[in-house]
Chains A and B, each alone.
Chain A
Amino acid sequence: GEDVEQSLFLSVREGDSSVINCTYTDSSSTYLYWYKQEPGAGLQLLTYIFSNMDMKQDQRLTVLLNKKDKHLSLRIADTQTGDSAIYFCASLTNNNAGNMLTFGGGTRLMVKP
């Protein structure tokens, strides 16, 4: 089955750019997603990219997809303290059970003032 990996932790200073990386294993992945989780809350969809795209930009967020290397990244420009949260990468694949999302373990982003 699909396996999604992320680094555990990232620390940046306010105003810097943050880059969170993710790798996945299933080349049949159709969509890839980034979710944000703040303390005690559910997961909030930040952005997604279709597997035939290389890049998607949405305000301060830039998603880069290298399908050959099965590598996804999320860049947050001008990182703010409010961006401190856990970020989950997820891959959508289709199997006998239908469409399923496989999540990475999450990257905790800490933004220092």
Chain B
Amino acid sequence: DGGITQSPKYLFRKEGQNVTLSCEQNLNHDAMYWYRQDPGQGLRLIYYSQIVNDFQKGDIAEGYSVSREKKESFPLTVTSAQKNPTAFYLCAISDTFRGYTFGSGTRLTVV
């Protein structure tokens, strides 16, 4: 995936449990993004970070949290406050000229 790695590929969450999705990059890009995709739907922006130690809410941030302590890493936590977390989660990094490079995604299912 061009230097961006998401893990795990599949994740199962019990009701009321927090889970953390990993996104790591080795391309030295400043900007990183988290998107949510529901079946048959487009992408919705959850959070983004333009620089280390700074991040901004996207369109659907409620029930999610992030951190950006290192340039290479932008983990997303799906909290118990997110009532409908089952979805496909995509992380992306930004190279302005070439747009975004996406990871291979994490499919989260509530069991």
Contacts and interface: CB of A to CB of B under 8 A. Distances in A.
A105 B41 contact: yes
Interface string A79-101: 00000000010101000011111
A101 B101 CA distance: 11
Interface string B93-111: 0101111111111010000
Q: How large is the interface on B (under 10, 10 to 19, 20 to 34, 35 or more residues)?
A: 20 to 34
Interface in A16-45: 31, 33, 35, 40-45
B102 to A, nearest CB: 4
Nearest to A50: B97
B99 A42 contact: no
B99 A88 contact: no
Interface in B61-111: 88, 90, 92, 94, 96-105, 107
B31 A106 contact: no
B100 A101 contact: yes
A92 B99 contact: yes
Interface in A38-74: 40-45, 48
Contacts of B103: 42
B42 A97 contact: no
Interface in B30-72: 31, 40-43, 48, 50, 56
A104 B105 CA distance: 19
Nearest to B51: A98
Contact of A42 (B41, B50, B90, B96): B90
B1 interface: yes
Nearest to A99: B96
A88 B101 CA distance: 13
Interface of A: 31, 33, 35, 40-45, 48, 88, 90, 92, 97-101, 103-106, 108
7 contacts: A41-B105, A45-B99, A88-B42, A92-B96, A92-B99, A97-B56, A98-B50
